[in-house]
């Protein structure tokens, strides 16, 4: 029994400060991302979420250049990016994608420059990889209070606009009839999204942080039709994936290729994507068995109308 235990939790797992910090930060990040992610998925803003992470990378690489803690860089730039997208964002979905893409492209170009300067001026390797792909084990303990504060801010923002946000996302006409300020609600949500993305960027790296934002939420939306429950599920899946990823990565030093260790970010993303695929494939089969009369076009948008009807009721 103790042998199995020692294989699962390699010696030193619980004693290590790095692992404890990684577990705390990872757990918090997963909860915030799960809650914000459900709205991101339902509002169809995955691209915006991903772009904010990449825009945050510009801030992260700039912060390394100025020797400021990277979290501040990620936060500042992703909030500014959110504002910019909203500013040039146009109402039609197609143009909104275009506006997002233009901001994303310009930001990535600038971060190419900043990362290049990081590596040439400071002549220290690995910073480009840290900004882009993350290294949760390298977080210092002093970031924990900051992460707690910003997680709380993001969650409070979401709670504040919870009902109008649901209404504006699902039934714009009804929201207008009830005098919901959709623009303001959208702004507040985008701010919460920007903070959540900045937090997950320091954990998973800016270009992989989309996984923890979108993956658990998309899986949860498949599992339940109630938004509150979906957020719980998303947070749960996210935390599990994050902790399991940290554990596996810690264990992986004994895996082949020897003494190299598998990156945490890869393991977390792999777990999340596997969960989504598992739920997607099984739920798809169930739907086709129970509802053979549904036309294939309707099946492509999973139970959207049912969700809407239930939520507004």
Partner 1 sequence: MFSGFMVGTWEAASMVAVVGGLVGFFVVMRGSAFAAHAVPQGAFAGAAGASLLGLNVILGLGVFAVLAALGIGWLSRRGRHDVVVALMLVALLALGSLFLSWSTQYEPEIFGLLFGQVLGVDRSNLVPTAMLAAVCVLVILALFRPLLLASALPEIADADSSRTRWLRTGSLELIFLVVLALATSLTLPVVGALLIFSLMIGPPAAARSITANPRAAAGLSVGIALATVWLSIAGAYRWNLPVGFFVGVLSAACYLLGRGWAFCRRHARRVSAPGSVAMASAPEWEQP
Q: Is 70 or 216 the residue whose CB approaches partner 1 more closely?
A: 216
Q: What is the rounded CA–CA span in Å between residue 50 and residue 109?
A: 16
Mask for 291-310, x = binds partner 1 (CB under 8 A): --------xxxx--------
Does 132 interact with partner 1 (rule: CB under 8 A)? yes
Does 115 interact with partner 1 (rule: CB under 8 A)? yes
Does 129 interact with partner 1 (rule: CB under 8 A)? yes
b/e code 63-74 from CB counts within 10 Å (16+ = b): bbbeeebbbbbb
Reported in sequence order, the residue ranges of 6-126 that DSSP labels E, i.e. its strands, are: none
- Return the range that interacts with partner 1 (CB under 8 A); candidates 11-19, 46-54, 159-167, 236-244: 46-54
Does 113 interact with partner 1 (rule: CB under 8 A)? yes
Is 60 in contact with 205 (CB distance < 8 Å)?
Answer: no
- Hey, which residues between 184 and 203 contact partner 1 (CB under 8 A)? none
Does 207 interact with partner 1 (rule: CB under 8 A)? yes
Q: What is the rounded CA–CA span in Å between residue 241 and residue 230?
A: 16
Token pair listed for 270? 């792999």
Answer for which of 175, 218, 234, 242 binds partner 1 (CB under 8 A) is: 218
Answer for which of 28, 36, 76, 107 binds partner 1 (CB under 8 A) is: 107
b/e code 203-231 from CB counts within 10 Å (16+ = b): bbbbbbbbbbbbbbbbbbbbeeeebeebb
Token pair listed for 79? 């909030």
Q: How far is the CB of 73 from partner 1 (least distance, A)?
A: 18
Q: How far is the CB of 13 from partner 1 (least distance, A)?
A: 20
Q: What is the rounded CA–CA span in Å between residue 80 and residue 58?
A: 11
Tokens 């909030």 belong to 79
Does 101 interact with partner 1 (rule: CB under 8 A)? yes
Q: Is 90 or 184 the residue whose CB approaches partner 1 more closely?
A: 90
Q: How far is the CB of 54 from partner 1 (least distance, A)?
A: 8
Mask for 266-295, x = binds partner 1 (CB under 8 A): x--xx-xx--x---x---x-----------
Q: Is 129 or 240 the residue whose CB approaches partner 1 more closely?
A: 129
Helix-helix angle 70-88:46-66, to 10 degrees? 140
Q: What is the rounded CA–CA span in Å between residue 27 and residue 148?
A: 11
Does 214 interact with partner 1 (rule: CB under 8 A)? yes
Answer for which of 24, 68, 102, 240 binds partner 1 (CB under 8 A) is: 102
C-alpha distance from residue 68 to each of 127, 139, 152, 236, 282 (Å): 13, 14, 23, 33, 47
Q: What is the rounded CA–CA span in Å between residue 86 and residue 201?
A: 21
Tokens 């939306």 belong to 221
Upstream peptide bond of 257 is cis (omega within 30 degrees of 0) = yes
Does 128 interact with partner 1 (rule: CB under 8 A)? yes
Is 131 in contact with 64 (CB distance < 8 Å)?
Answer: yes
Does 30 interact with partner 1 (rule: CB under 8 A)? no
Residue ranges binding partner 1 (CB under 8 A): 41, 44-47, 49-50, 54, 93-94, 97-98, 100-110, 112-113, 115-116, 119, 125-126, 128-129, 132-133, 205, 207-208, 210-211, 214-215, 218, 257, 260-263, 265-266, 269-270, 272-273, 276, 280, 284, 299-302
């Amino acid at each position: 029994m103790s042998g199995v235990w020692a294989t699962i939790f390699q010696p030193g797992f619980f004693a290590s400060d790095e692992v404890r910090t990684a577990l705390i930060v990872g757990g918090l990040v997963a909860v915030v991302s799960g809650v914000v992610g459900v709205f991101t998925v339902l509002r169809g803003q995955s691209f915006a979420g991903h772009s904010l992470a990449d825009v945050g990378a510009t801030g992260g690489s700039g912060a390394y250049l100025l020797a400021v803690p990277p979290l501040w860089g990620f936060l500042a730039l992703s909030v500014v990016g959110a504002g910019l997208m909203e500013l040039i964002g146009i109402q039609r979905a197609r143009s909104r994608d275009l506006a997002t893409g233009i901001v994303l492209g310009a930001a990535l170009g600038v971060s190419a420059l900043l990362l290049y300067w990081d590596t040439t001026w400071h002549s220290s390797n690995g910073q480009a990889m840290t900004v882009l792909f993350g290294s949760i084990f390298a977080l210092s303990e002093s970031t924990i209070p900051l992460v707690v504060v910003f997680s709380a801010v993001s969650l409070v923002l979401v709670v504040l606009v919870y009902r109008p946000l649901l209404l504006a996302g699902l039934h714009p006409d009804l929201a207008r009839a009830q005098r919901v300020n959709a623009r303001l609600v959208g702004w507040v949500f985008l701010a919460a999204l920007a903070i959540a993305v900045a937090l997950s960027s320091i954990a998973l790296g800016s270009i992989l942080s989309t996984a923890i934002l979108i993956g658990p939420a998309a899986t949860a939306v498949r599992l339940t039709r109630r938004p509150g429950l979906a957020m719980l599920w998303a947070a749960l899946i996210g935390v599990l994936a994050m902790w399991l990823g940290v554990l596996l990565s810690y264990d992986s030093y004994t895996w082949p290729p020897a003494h190299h260790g598998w990156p945490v970010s890869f393991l977390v993303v792999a777990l999340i994507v596997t969960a989504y695929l598992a739920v997607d494939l099984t739920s798809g089969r169930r739907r086709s068995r129970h509802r053979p009369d549904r036309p294939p076009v309707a099946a492509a948008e999973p139970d959207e109308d049912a969700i809407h009807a239930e939520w507004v009721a």
